[in-house]
Structures are given as C-alpha cells and as structure tokens.
Amino acid sequence: MNSPYLCPNCKTNRSRFNLIEQVARPVKLNPQTGEILQQFEIEHLEPFHLPYQGPSYKVQCGICGVIENEIVFVKQAQTCNFTRKTNNPLNSADNF
C-alpha cells in the first residue's frame, strides 16, 4: 500500500485509517452442531475446499467508520486528482 487513500464516504479523510487484516482460517465443521472438527493450513486444504481469495486486509475510515476494500479508497483518491506535493497543507499536520 503505497497509494494515497481518500475515504469514498466522507470524502475528506486522507490520513486516518484502520487497516483490518483478514486472516482466513479454513475449518471443517460438524454440520449438525457447528463444532470445529478440523482446521487446515492453507497449503493442506482438501481438493474441493476453496481457499480464501479475498483481499488480505480491509480499510476502515478513521473519521466516518466506513469499511471498504483498499482499492475503493485508492480509486477515490485517484478520482479526486490529488496532487502529491511534499508540502501539501492537507498532509503536513499528519506526520505521526
């Protein structure tokens, strides 16, 4: 993630975000009880068990709280044509 973000919802936040890591845990459940019978490593899935293919993390806007895939925030930033100047006043207050 080296692209600027812009929240697609509040459209003002470019700097405060929560990155939500998504860790898929493949399991086999007892169909009756829901109890976990078996857990798998991704590499050792049964042939018919589809591995998780979604994004490795999601992004939450730290201002309005909306949660989307990273690409949505990146696209929004690109759409809004933000110039990447090092001394941009919108960013200068946000060097953590």
Name the token pair of 31: 């169909």
User: Taking CB under 5 A as the rule, does residue 29 contact Zn ion?
Assistant: no
Nearer to Zn ion, 51 or 62 (CB): 62
User: Taking CB under 5 A as the rule, does residue 13 contact Zn ion?
Assistant: yes
Q: How far is the CB of 4 from Zn ion (least distance, A)?
A: 14
Name the token pair of 74: 């990146």
Q: Per-residue string for binding with Zn ion, 45-74, x by CB under 5 A?
A: ----------------x-xx----------
Contacts of 64 (CB under 8 A, 6+ apart): 7, 9, 10, 13
Sign, Cα dihedral of 9, 13, 14, 19: negative
Residues that bind Zn ion (CB under 5 A): 7, 9-10, 13, 61, 63-64
